Amino acid sequence: MSEKDSLCNMNIINENRKIKEVDGKSYIFDIIRKKYILLTPEEIVRQNFLDYLIQEKKYSKNLIKLESAIKYNALDKRSDILVYDSDGLPFLLVECKAASVSLSQRTIEQASRYNLTVQARYLCITNGQKTFCFELNSNSKSYHQLKAIPEVE
């Protein structure tokens, strides 16, 4: 995973999203969870990537789940974005980090641990500046890096 292999910058800036201030804090309306969410640095990346998947990649909002509960080694974890295919099977698992967080092998390992439970065919990590996507080889249980985010199935 090298910097030159990063797929793209997600330049959608939630232009059409409702943002409100409450007690000096900003909240963005999440179109999937249908409620206002505190706009943390990681949430900015998650919402931008969500908009990218819906607007640019044409993924259906109805097949996307945010912050899904995952059980890993008796620990309760949450996936940032989980996209299902038209058959209702996990298709793409996305791990989002704040823009200030560098993506590393550790980030990939975290996402792949989550995917042990989810079993999505594709895995993506992003900090909004850099994005990497991988496909799971179900036979060898290994990943290979992709040059693009997969088209919805």
**Cα–Cα nearest to 43, from 23, 69, 25, 22:** 25
The sign of the torsion formed by the CA atoms of 55, 39, 119, 84 equals: negative
Confidence of residue 118 (pLDDT cuts 50, 70, 90): confident
Cα distance between residue 64 and residue 125, in whole Å: 16
Determine contact, residues 130/6, Cβ cutoff 8 Å.
yes
- pLDDT number for residue 14: 60
- pLDDT number for residue 58: 92
- pLDDT number for residue 72: 59
> What is the arithmetic mean of pLDDT over 112-140?
88
Domains observed in the chain:
3-145 (3.90.1570)
- Reported pTM: 0.84
Determine contact, residues 15/28, Cβ cutoff 8 Å.
no
Which tens digit of pLDDT belongs to each residue from 6-41?
555 455 456 677 888 899 998 989 999 999 999 899
